[in-house]
Structure 1
Amino acid sequence: MARKIGSRYTAHQIVGRGSAGTVWLGEGPEGPVAVKLLREDLACDQELVGRFVQERTALLQLDHPRIVAVRDLVVDGNDLALVMDLVRGTDLRTRLDRERRLAPEAAVAITADVAEALAAAHAAGVVHRDVKPENILLDMEGPLGPGGAHPALLTDFGVAKLIDTPRRTKAARAAGGAPNASGIIGTPDYVAPELVEGLPPRAAVDIYALATVLYELLAGFTPFGGGHPGAVLRRHVTETVVPLPGIPEELWQLIVQCLAKAPASRLRASELAQRLHDLLPLLRGIPPLEVDEPGTEPAPEPWEEDEPERPAAPRRRGAVPLVPGAASADANRDTHTSMRVPAPDELAGGAHGTARAPRAPGQRRPGSARNRAAAVRRRRLTVGAVAVALAAVAGVGGWLALDGDGGQVPPGGTRQSVPAEP
């Protein structure tokens, strides 16, 4: 059913849903548009509405071929909406779900497009703060680029910043955040370490997120993802990235630099775009990588020693849902949710190390929860066997004893000492 959005736009049908709201196919004075209608509870937040209006000018001035342009921001009663250019295509997450990983040439071409978009945004003083495959659109009507990649456009500028208000941060703390913790807006798999440590978002957080996307396009999984969001956030701070075999060393060193823990060590967006374009000739013809994805470490459960080993459930790729029980399609399409920053003692809980390395399916990882559970069972069996043996010896000892010369003493008998000869 069609609905009016302000006085100039009409939304005809829903084409996507996310945690922040719904995306509609709409019509405006200049033709078809995409309308992102934010949730009603957000529209009722006067502080957010005020920030929405303040950001209008900056968002409308973002003009670049690799950015999905914001045409208008509408505040009308309970409606709070961004009116954007309509892109005929799909998002990068949909392509990853279908193909799992891309050939290096196509992956780098898409990443270079997004780096160009970020360079334009950063030059205008705008930080995206939520770069991820769901926010990268592929224009199916545009000309094919290197590796057969469709042109990539970055969308959802400003949404994360609009939702990140002091009031919502306080609510996040009241819901269980530590006293010295602040809220994080974003998606755990792509959050830069400095955000986890409570520093303000600068342009470098977008570079870190984009490098994470590139790693995911090549490997089929993110470098620090998997498991509880809190564990993911801590890995960003404490662990180093696992190398990817089969790509040129120049590309790997570029990824490592952009995933550096220190923001100042990362490249600027314009530098990253140029370096990626320079690498494209080296990647021509290289097939998608064959990389074993790390499996989920299940919680230890009791089972019999002779029971066949239970297969590990595959770890979901891409972003981790932040709301337990939320449908994956909705949770991952648009995740702008406040997350608690781990306290300093939590971040210091593990020594710096390397993120869990990919391994062959079914192969146990040293130190995994299942290995620890198996070790506990083996120790219990060993202790039990020793206890039985000791009990048996104690029982026999009640019937037999040795005299001083090594002879047996009958049950109930007494030891006799033999005097020494003069």
Structure 2
Amino acid sequence: MARKIGSRYTAHQILGRGSAGTVWLGEGPEGPVAVKLLREDLASDEELVGRFVQERTALLGLDHPHVVSVRDLVVDGNDLALVMDLVRGTDLRTRLERDRRMAPEAAVAIVADVAEGLAAAHAAGIVHRDVKPENILLDMQGPLGPGGSHRALLTDFGVAKLIDTPRRTRATKIIGTPDYLAPEIVEGLPPRASVDIYALATVLYELLAGFTPFGGGHPGAVLRRHVTESVAPLPGIPDELWQLIVQCLAKAPASRLRASELAARLREQLPTLAGMPPLDVDEPGTEPDEGEPAEAVPSAPATETVTGRVRRGSVPLVPNAKPDSNRDTHTSMRVPAPDELAGGAHGTARVPRAAGAPRPGSARNRSATRRRRITLGVAAAALVAAAGIGTWAATSGDDAGAPPDDTNNSAPTTP
């Protein structure tokens, strides 16, 4: 059912729903558009509407081939909407749900596109604050890029900032999607351009591995990992690419690359990645090995993913909290206290395993360990036995033919 958006636009059908509102296929004076209609509770917030209008000039001025351009901002009664260019394609999350992971060349090309869009935004003083696959669109109408990748465009600029108003989120609250939140956000610091770099590096890791480096379980556990854990290496990718990911996932914001630097460095990597197949790794702590019963993890909730695989959670950071694995929405959380963050793994990493390898601590892994110990024990016993026989043979050979000597252990006597 069509509905009017302001005096210039008509929304015809829903394209998708997000945490902040609903995206419609619309029509305007210049042709088809995408209209993001914000939730009614947001539209009724006078303070948010004021901030919305203040952001208008900056958002309308952001023009880049890898950014979904905002054409207009509409404030009309209960309607609060962003009118944007219509991208004929899908979002990166949908692509991941279908393929789980991508070949490195295509993944790097997509992330390089987004990094270039971020560079333009950061130069204009705009921080996205919610970079994730749901906010990266793939243009299916344009020519294919390296590795068969589609041109990537970043959307939803300004939405996280609009939601994060002082009245809606106090200083003890944070807004974001847990898997992609930079450590400084978790610790309550204001968001700078470097938080977008951290989130984009997380997206690249996810495109390569099929899972995020610190995700899984309750959002509180995810937040703790961002602050306390090291990123686990991915086997099979060039070292230079891995070092880029590590640098952009650094805990210290100043250690990360700028968006323009990241884009250039990623473009340099593309020739070395040509023809490389997707990685073959399994997510840490996922489904049990074949023929092995799932092991109970005390106080660790298990959550069902979109692919039907069970992701094991961790002890919640927020006491008595229920598990929530939904990455599609902004999550409002309190800033963890220092003692809660200190309860994490302190520099450990959940290391991905090669496909088919036993999980550490699994029944199959313990059985293999026992077999190795038994084999080593038998080998050691055989060596000891062999050494004993050899010593006896040597001693017997030295004494052969000698008369018995009963005074060997006696004190010498004086004639």
Once the two structures are superposed, residues 361-404 of structure 1 have per-residue CA deviations (whole angstroms, 9 ceiling, x without a partner) of 79454499xx9xxxxxxxxxxxxxxxxxxxxxxxxxxxxxxxxx
**Contact 2:178/2:331, CA 8 A, preserved across alignment:** no
CA distance in 1, matches of 2:147, 2:169: 43
CA distance in 2, matches of 1:194, 1:33: 36
Cα 1:363–1:315, aligned 2, differ >3 Å: closer, same or farther?
farther
CA distance in 1, matches of 2:327, 2:38: 16
**What is the aligned partner in structure 2 of residue 358 from structure 1?**
352
**What is the aligned partner in structure 2 of residue 70 from structure 1?**
70
Deviation at 1:311, TM superposition (A): 6.7
CA distance in 1, matches of 2:276, 2:17: 36
Name the amino acid aligned to 1:233: L
Deviation at 1:357, TM superposition (A): 1.6
**Contact 1:222/1:317, CA 8 A, preserved across alignment:** no
Cα 1:215–1:194, aligned 2, differ >3 Å: closer, same or farther?
same
**Contact 1:105/1:284, CA 8 A, preserved across alignment:** yes
Name the amino acid aligned to 1:69: S
CA distance in 2, matches of 1:108, 1:214: 7
**Matched residue SS, 1:240:** coil
CA distance in 1, matches of 2:215, 2:356: 18
**Contact 1:132/1:209, CA 8 A, preserved across alignment:** yes
**Matched residue SS, 2:227:** helix
Aligned partner of 1:343 among 337, 347, 352: 337
CA distance in 1, matches of 2:79, 2:322: 28
Give unpaired runs (5+ residues) of structure 1. Answer: 171-180, 299-307, 372-422
Deviation at 1:354, TM superposition (A): 2.4
CA distance in 2, matches of 1:351, 1:242: 13
Once the two structures are superposed, residues 156-212 of structure 1 have per-residue CA deviations (whole angstroms, 9 ceiling, x without a partner) of 000000000111113xxxxxxxxxx62211100000000001110000000000000
Deviation at 1:317, TM superposition (A): 7.4
**Contact 2:106/2:147, CA 8 A, preserved across alignment:** yes
CA distance in 2, matches of 1:357, 1:267: 24
Once the two structures are superposed, residues 64-118 of structure 1 have per-residue CA deviations (whole angstroms, 9 ceiling, x without a partner) of 0100000011111111100000000000000000000000000000000000000
**Contact 1:294/1:315, CA 8 A, preserved across alignment:** no
Residue 310 (str. 1) matches residue 297 (str. 2): no
**What is the aligned partner in structure 1 of residue 93 from structure 2?**
93
CA distance in 1, matches of 2:303, 2:38: 33
**Contact 1:221/1:317, CA 8 A, preserved across alignment:** no
**What is the aligned partner in structure 2 of residue 409 from structure 1?**
none
Matches within 5 A, 1:208-287: 208-287=198-277
**What is the aligned partner in structure 2 of residue 303 from structure 1?**
none
Name the amino acid aligned to 2:111: T
**Matched residue SS, 1:73:** strand
**What is the aligned partner in structure 1 of residue 47 from structure 2?**
47
**Matched residue SS, 1:272:** helix
TM-score normalised to structure 1 length: 0.77
Matches within 5 A, 1:114-193: 114-170=114-170, 182-193=172-183
Name the amino acid aligned to 2:245: I
Name the amino acid aligned to 1:348: A
Residue 292 (str. 1) matches residue 282 (str. 2): yes
Once the two structures are superposed, residues 190-239 of structure 1 have per-residue CA deviations (whole angstroms, 9 ceiling, x without a partner) of 00000001110000000000000000000000000001100000100000
**What is the aligned partner in structure 1 of residue 57 from structure 2?**
57
**What is the aligned partner in structure 2 of residue 110 from structure 1?**
110
CA RMSD of aligned residues (A): 2.7
**Matched residue SS, 1:107:** helix
CA distance in 1, matches of 2:347, 2:304: 21
**What is the aligned partner in structure 1 of residue 384 from structure 2?**
none
**Contact 2:179/2:327, CA 8 A, preserved across alignment:** no
**What is the aligned partner in structure 1 of residue 19 from structure 2?**
19
Name the amino acid aligned to 1:356: R
**Matched residue SS, 1:24:** strand
Name the amino acid aligned to 1:280: L
Deviation at 1:315, TM superposition (A): 6.5
CA distance in 2, matches of 1:279, 1:138: 21
Identical-residue share of aligned pairs (%): 82
Cα 1:317–1:108, aligned 2, differ >3 Å: closer, same or farther?
farther
TM-score normalised to structure 2 length: 0.78
Deviation at 1:338, TM superposition (A): 1.6
Number of positions where the alignment pairs a residue of Structure 1 with one of Structure 2: 346
